[in-house]
């Protein structure tokens, strides 16, 4: 063995040692940074919860823990409890699991287990459960940019205020997507096989598929995950790009157009409405809304739609809504409830 060989081997050994030391040092620094970040997340969440109590809003994440080392980081809770004294509302949920990749902390996913209990004064109570409920968020330096929520096999029961009536709801699948678009908010939502049953009786309507796509002007702040008033749409305006209600067997209604909501919650707007299979849809709506005034409005509207289309079974018309009162040309159609 020559001196050059010995020198070469010792040089290789030194490089390997340096590389090993560097890897160990990076691992130590990374691990320390991860656990410091986890501690910061937990302490800041607790500080957020504490500050909320001063404003009448409290949140409790029982047995909160931050997990996911080494490549993920997320908050886990055994149970979630929310209370808002201002709105006289409370909600409780099951286990919460969340995660974000350490190299992409602005994008996180969340899963929430049922059952859920929601109470809103006066006397509105909702109980719900599902097989899967997950959400994803995308945040930047300006706050949340996108929020998506999806659920499977949702079942819920609502006890309505004042009357005490019970309404059972079930849906195979549903999604809601909120996206910040400058100062505006884009909203898209859909639900599949929606079933509504009063007092566990017969379904009000055939299993319904519904979808909505709209923009709310100057309401980008609603994408933030903060408590909002039940009347958050009041004083807003926007564009309804598409609203579709599909009752099956070709019975489909669509609507689109600009709208506004005043401070009393009354809607105004001009909507292009298309309804298909009018003759088949009429008895379904009459059975769902059997009171005398509703039946008269349904029959009058169906007759006008068919007359405007020469007796056909599909019609496209423009419906004007002013301060909650809907009309077709000079014919009143009915009053929309305040939001």
Q: What is the pLDDT of residues 42-66, one digit of tens each?
A: 777 777 777 666 667 788 888 888 8
**Separation between Cα atoms, residue 335 and residue 294, nearest integer Å:** 10
Tell which wins on pLDDT, 19 or 326: 326
Instruction: Please list, in sequence order, all residues whose beta carbon lies within 8 angstroms of the beta carbon of residue 266, skipping any fewer than 6 positions away.
Output: 323, 324, 336, 338
Query: Cα 220–222–225 angle (5° rounding)?
Result: 125
What is the mean pLDDT of the segment spanning 170-183? 93
Q: Which pLDDT score, from 0 to 100, does residue 185 have?
A: 94
**Separation between Cα atoms, residue 159 and residue 199, nearest integer Å:** 9
Contact 90, 119 (CB under 8 A): yes
**Separation between Cα atoms, residue 267 and residue 263, nearest integer Å:** 10
**Separation between Cα atoms, residue 177 and residue 150, nearest integer Å:** 9
Q: What is the pLDDT of residues 252-291, one digit of tens each?
A: 999 999 999 999 999 999 999 999 988 888 888 888 888 8
Residue 191: pLDDT band with limits 50, 70, 90: very high
Q: What is the pLDDT of residues 230-250, one digit of tens each?
A: 678 889 999 999 999 999 888
Average model confidence (pLDDT) for the chain? 84
What is the mean pLDDT of the segment spanning 106-128? 88
Residue 10: pLDDT band with limits 50, 70, 90: low
**Separation between Cα atoms, residue 27 and residue 31, nearest integer Å:** 6
Which H or E run contains 205? none
Q: Considering the chain, what percentage of its residues have pLDDT values greater than 90?
A: 34
What is the mean pLDDT of the segment spanning 181-206? 88
Instruction: Please list, in sequence order, all residues whose beta carbon lies within 8 angstroms of the beta carbon of residue 60, skipping any fewer than 6 positions away.
Output: 49, 79, 80, 81, 82
**Separation between Cα atoms, residue 6 and residue 13, nearest integer Å:** 11
């Amino acid at each position: 063995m020559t001196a050059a060989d010995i020198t070469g081997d010792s040089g290789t050994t030194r490089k390997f040692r340096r590389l090993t030391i560097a890897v160990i040092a990076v691992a130590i620094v990374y691990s320390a940074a991860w656990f410091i970040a986890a501690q910061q997340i937990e302490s800041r969440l607790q500080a957020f919860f504490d500050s909320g109590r001063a404003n009448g809003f409290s949140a409790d994440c029982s047995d909160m823990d931050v997990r996911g080392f080494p490549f993920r980081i997320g908050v886990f809770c055994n149970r979630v409890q929310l209370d808002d004294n201002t709105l006289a509302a409370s909600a409780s949920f099951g286990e919460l699991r969340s995660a974000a990749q350490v190299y992409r902390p602005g994008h996180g996913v969340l899963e929430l287990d049922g059952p859920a209990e929601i109470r809103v004064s006066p006397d509105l109570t909702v109980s719900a459960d599902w097989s899967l409920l997950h959400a994803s968020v995308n945040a930047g330096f300006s706050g949340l940019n996108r929020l998506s929520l999806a659920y499977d096999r949702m079942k819920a029961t609502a006890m309505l205020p004042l009357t005490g009536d019970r309404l059972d709801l079930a849906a195979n699948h549903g999604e809601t997507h909120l996206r910040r678009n400058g100062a505006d908010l884009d909203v898209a939502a859909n639900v599949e096989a929606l079933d509504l049953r009063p007092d566990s009786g017969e379904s009000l309507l055939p299993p319904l598929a519904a979808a909505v796509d709209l923009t709310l002007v100057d309401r980008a702040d609603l994408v933030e995950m903060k408590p909002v008033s039940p009347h958050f749409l009041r004083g807003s305006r926007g564009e309804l790009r598409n609203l579709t209600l599909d009752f099956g067997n070709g019975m489909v209604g669509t609507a689109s157009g600009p709208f506004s909501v005043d401070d009393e919650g009354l809607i105004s707007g001009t909507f292009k409405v298309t309804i298909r299979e009018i003759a088949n849809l009429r008895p379904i709506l009459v059975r769902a809304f059997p009171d005398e005034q509703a039946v008269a409005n349904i029959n009058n509207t169906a007759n006008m739609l068919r007359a405007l289309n020469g007796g056909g079974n599909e019609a496209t018309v423009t419906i004007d809504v002013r301060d909650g009162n809907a009309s077709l040309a000079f014919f009143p159609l009915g009053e929309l409830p305040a939001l």
